[in-house]
Amino acid sequence: MSQVFSQETHRNLLARIPHCTGREVSDWLRTVDEGPALFRFEEKVSWLRAEHNLAYGHAKAIIHEYDLRRAARKLL
């Protein structure tokens, strides 16, 4: 994984995604879940950017959030 955002930066990016993209974060997370089975972080980011024309920071924040939530599910 390349540059890591601070928790505050991550939260701020997530908060701006609905305004900038017109879609809620939960919609984006579902899109990633239903998307191709990519394993590497940067592959997922690149796919979101290419397929949905997202800015790099937004795509990265979505994938980071997706990975955080997926890891949390495994702990339960």
Measure the CA–CA gap between 22 and 36, rounded to whole angstroms: 22
What average pLDDT does the structure give for the chain? 92
What residue ranges do the domains of the chain occupy? 5-73
Predicted confidence at residue 8, as pLDDT, reads 92
Measure the CA–CA gap between 64 and 67, rounded to whole angstroms: 5
Predicted confidence at residue 73, as pLDDT, reads 86
| pTM, 2 dp | 0.89
Task: Name which residue leads in pLDDT, 28 or 76.
Answer: 28
pLDDT digits (tens, 9 = 90+) for 13-49: 999 999 999 999 999 999 999 999 999 999 999 999 9
Q: Which residues contact 18 (CB under 8 A, 6 or more apart)?
A: 24, 25
Task: Name which residue leads in pLDDT, 4 or 41.
Answer: 41
Q: Which amino acid is at 37?
A: A
